[in-house]
Amino acid sequence: MKTIVSGIQPSGTLHLGNYLGFLRQAVELQDNSGCKRFYFIVDFHSLTGRYNPKEKAKEIYELAVDLLAGGIDPKKSTLFIQSHIEEHANLAWIFNTITSMGQLERMVEYKEKVAQGITPNAGLFDYPVLMAADILLYKGELVPVGEDQLQHIELARDTARAFNRRFGKTFPEPKAILTKAPRVMSLNNARQKMSKSLPQGCLFLTDSPKVMREKIMRAETDSHAEIGCDPKRRAAISNLVMIYAELSGMTTSEVVKMFKGVGYAEFKKELAELVIKTFKPFQERRAKVFKNKAQVMKVLEEGARNARPIARATMEEVRKKVGLI
Ligand code: ADP
Ligand code: TRP
């Protein structure tokens, strides 16, 4: 039985990139009864960025609501909060001692954040080691994530290999699983990935229909006469075509054919209506789940209760192997 593991940071509302690159696949993977699934809210990771302590608790709760409303089913997946299982940090410490500074210095996400002018704390530098611990604590083999996380998963593989070589076979070597839309680009800057740090080009799943329409109508295109899909040369319009294809279940060439001879404005109008229709049921479920705090907290507690024995057993095995008494 394969083990699927993934984490997501509580640092703002979910957006279309999170949905197409991560959430939809995490939900679909629940149909495979031959797999075990651990999905968690990585609250410790989210403390490595700037945050307001008063907002943090709200963000954690809202992400749990989003995940449940988005289709994570506690009967099929173990859903919990990372910091509720103390072994995540304990295993990260052990992994710190087998990870070189050079490996972490090569991490692109870290370098990008520093280049943006963020003053890094030690936690931000060490972030990929905690992520390796998240995955390997449950002996995760498959990790559904967006493309931006590939290098971190590679580090988790290196960590598993280094540990196994030194202390004997303990961990599997995890692999990322990507969707067909592993990198959704920003609506107003197709050279950057859609991210909550660029809110204007980011379609949040909770945006009102009016805001969704506005963001899509304002989205960057190009000066060609018709839509097309050529991500290298026409990144902006290809991104919109890809979004339409993903949400309609069509291929990108089918979308291009369907809108042949139709102007950009008309295509965007249709895209906006498709996005609004797709996320209406999510928004309705979200409003209901949000009000039921007792139930949401119960799910998270039960999730932690189920994850804990597995985390403890791995940590116990690791302690023995490295020689702790
Ligand atoms: P953000 O970059 O907005 O802060 P997160 O880092 O919280 O988003 O990402 C959560 C999950 O969504 C990860 O698996 C990540 O790889 C995926 N993801 C984030 N942005 C995108 C995107 N633009 N396209 C595809 N997947 C994405
Ligand atoms: N680094 C991931 C992100 O920013 C979040 C994450 C933390 C994660 N731990 C993980 C993803 C373990 C997959 C598995 O999106």
Instruction: Dump pLDDT digits (tens) for 7-17.
Output: 999 998 999 99
How many whole angstroms from 97 Cα to the centroid of ligand 2? Answer: 21
Provide the mean pLDDT of the chain: 97
pLDDT in the model for residue 219: 97
pLDDT value for 138 = 98
pLDDT in tens, 192-226: 999 998 899 999 999 999 999 999 999 999 999 89
User: How far does residue 306's CA lie from ligand 1's centre (Å)?
Assistant: 27
210 is catalytic: no
pLDDT in tens, 267-285: 999 999 999 999 999 999 9
Q: How confident is the model at residue 175 (pLDDT cuts 50, 70, 90)?
A: very high
What does the pLDDT read at residue 209? 98
Instruction: Report whether residue 134 contacts ligand 2, using a CB cutoff of 6 Å.
Output: yes
* Residue written as token pair 């907290």: 297
Contact 193, 184 (CB under 8 A): yes
Could you tell me if the CB of 160 is within 6 A of ligand 2?
no
Residue of the CA atom closest to atom 12 of ligand 1: 18
Encode pLDDT of 113-160 as tens digits.
999 999 999 999 999 999 999 999 999 999 999 999 999 999 999 999
Residue 177 amino acid letter: I
pLDDT digits (tens, 9 = 90+) for 35-65: 999 999 999 999 999 999 999 999 999 999 9
pLDDT band of residue 236 (cuts 50, 70, 90) is very high
Q: What is the pLDDT of residue 147?
A: 97
Measured in Å, residue 69 CA sits from the centre of ligand 2 at: 20
Categorize the per-residue pLDDT at 179 as very low, low, confident or very high, splitting at 50, 70 and 90.
Answer: very high
Check if 7 has its Cβ closer than 6 Å to any atom of ligand 2: yes
Residue of 45, 48, 59 best suited for mutating to test ligand 2, as the one with most atoms within 8 Å of CB = 45
Mean pLDDT over 70-83 rounds to 98
Catalytic residue of the set 139, 193, 215, 268: 193
Longest dimension (CA), the chain: 72
Please give the angle made by the CA atoms of 190, 258 and 186, to the nearest 5 degrees.
15
* C-alpha Rg value of the chain to the nearest Å: 21
Query: Tell me: the pLDDT tens digits for 78-100?
Result: 999 999 999 999 999 999 999 99
Alpha-helix runs per DSSP H in the chain? 16-18, 24-28, 43-46, 53-69, 87-96, 101-105, 108-115, 122-137, 150-167, 209-217, 235-248, 252-258, 264-291, 293-322
Say which ligand is closest to the CA of 138. 2
Q: Which of 36, 56, 76, 196 is flagged as catalytic? A: 196
Q: What is the pLDDT of residue 33?
A: 85
Q: Which residues lie closer than 8 Å to 240 by C-beta, 6 or more apart?
A: 187, 216, 219, 221, 227, 267, 268, 271
Q: What is the DSSP letter of 97?
A: T
pLDDT of residue 27: 98
Q: In angstroms, rounded to a whole number, what is the distance separating the alpha carbons of residues 306 and 299?
A: 11
Can you tell me the distance from the alpha carbon of 266 to that of 245, in angstroms, rounded to the nearest whole number? 16
* Six token digits for residue 164: 């196994």
pLDDT at site 197 = 86
Q: Is 269 a catalytic residue?
A: no
**Distance between Cα 56 and ligand 2 center (Å):** 17
Q: Which atom of ligand 1 is nearest to the CA of 185?
A: 23
- pLDDT tier, 161 (very low <50, low <70, confident <90, very high otherwise): very high
Known catalytic residue at 113: yes
Query: What span, in angstroms and rounded, lies between the C-alpha atoms of 21 and 180?
Result: 8
**Cα 101 from chain centroid?**
25
**Residue linked to tokens 């018709």:** 226
pLDDT at 32 over 90: no
